[in-house]
Structure 1
Amino acid sequence: MPTTQHISIDTDRCIGSGQCALTAPKTFTQDDDGFSALLPPDERASEDPLAREAARACPVQAITVAED
C-alpha cells in the first residue's frame, strides 16, 4: 500500500524565509505576503521526496511532514 504525505504549515511560526519554496518548489510556494503556502492539490507533487528536506530547511520548524 503506498504511503500518503500529510504536510502542514504552522502559519503562526512561519517567518517567510522562503527556504521551503526554494527546496521543494513542486510542493511549496509563498503567498502574497511572502509566507509559506502549499501549492493547490492539483498542482502539487503528490509525493515529494524534497518535502522532508524543506521541513528540515525551515529555520523556525514551521513545517511538519507525516506519512501514513
Structure 2
Amino acid sequence: MVHVSIDRDKCQGYGNCIMEAPDVFDLDNDGLVTLLDSGEIDATQPGVIGAVKSCPVHALRLRDE
C-alpha cells in the first residue's frame, strides 16, 4: 500500500494540497499542512497524488508500506 508522508519542516503553507484534496489536508494555526483525519493517508484517496505532485517545496512524499 502506498501512503503519504508529510515533512512539516519543508511546508511553506502554499495550500496546493488543500486545493487538490480538501477532504484530506488543511493548514493549522501556524499555516502548515496537517491532516483532517488523524489516521494514515492512503494515496488512493481522491486528490492525494495530485496534492503530492503540486507541492512546490516537496513537503509531501509517497512511500510504500
User: With structure 2 as the length reference, what TM-score do the two structures score?
Assistant: 0.78
**Correspondent of 2:17 among 10, 20, 23:** 20
Unaligned runs of 5+ in 2: none
* Contact 1:26 1:45 survives alignment (8 Å): no
The one-letter code matched in structure 1 to 2:37 is: P
User: With structure 1 as the length reference, what TM-score do the two structures score?
Assistant: 0.76
User: Between the two proteins, what is the percent identity of the paired residues?
Assistant: 36
Unaligned runs of 5+ in 1: none
RMSD: 2.1
Partner in structure 2 of residue 50 of structure 1: 47
